[in-house]
Amino acid sequence: MGIVVSVSAEPGHGFSKTPRAAITLLPGLGVEGDAHCGATVRHRSRVAADPLQPNLRQLHLFPAEWLEALDARGFDLAPGGLGENLLTRGLDLLALPTGTLLRFSQGPLVAVTGLRNPCRQIEAYRQGLLAAVLDRDAEGAVVLKAGIMAVILEGGVIAPGDSIGLSLPPEPHRKLQRV
């Protein structure tokens, strides 16, 4: 079980999102009132490439444990600062397989679609942060550590303190890829 630490949304296309008392998830769309809400992709770079591609980035989740580790390295990050909609605790988000279902205590259900690919805006937000959210595995491949993305299957309200349960997809599990 995990827990929701903070929820954030922002109507305009900026880097950070504003913490809220609660957010509402809309099935197949995303967070109500958030700039990235929509059935088709809303991230500006993705819209430029193909505005009709499905929105696999309806909800951005980031682990509070990783935020705290970055803070300890001097980055001074606040909830919503990295553009996440949900700051969570108690789940190893980056280790989840594609298709993992997350059920929130007030009812919403989301499916994990992949990893967030950090953009250059992250470096403008805090110098050195882009390198801090990238790593290399034993084979030298880039490892993305900027959170995960999900789509909304069943809507509803999410607020800080809500619990998060998970259901893994059938095996074989597919490792998260950039979406």
* 119: number of Cβ within 10 Å: 15
List Cβ neighbours of 150 (8 Å cut-off, separation of 6 or more): 58, 59, 61, 102, 110, 111, 112, 113
Whether pLDDT at 154 is above 90? yes
Domains of the chain, residue spans? 2-167
For residue 121, is pLDDT > 90?
no
- Pull the structure tokens for residue 165: 């349960």
Chain mean position to CA 50? 21
Higher pLDDT, 94 or 120: 94
pTM above 0.85, yes or no: yes
Is it the case that residue 51 has pLDDT exceeding 90? no
Mean pLDDT value across residues 151-174: 98
CATH fold of the domain at 2-167: M1 Pyruvate Kinase; Domain 3 (2.40.33)
> Could you give the C-alpha distances from 47 to 38, 44, 62, in angstroms and in order?
12, 5, 23
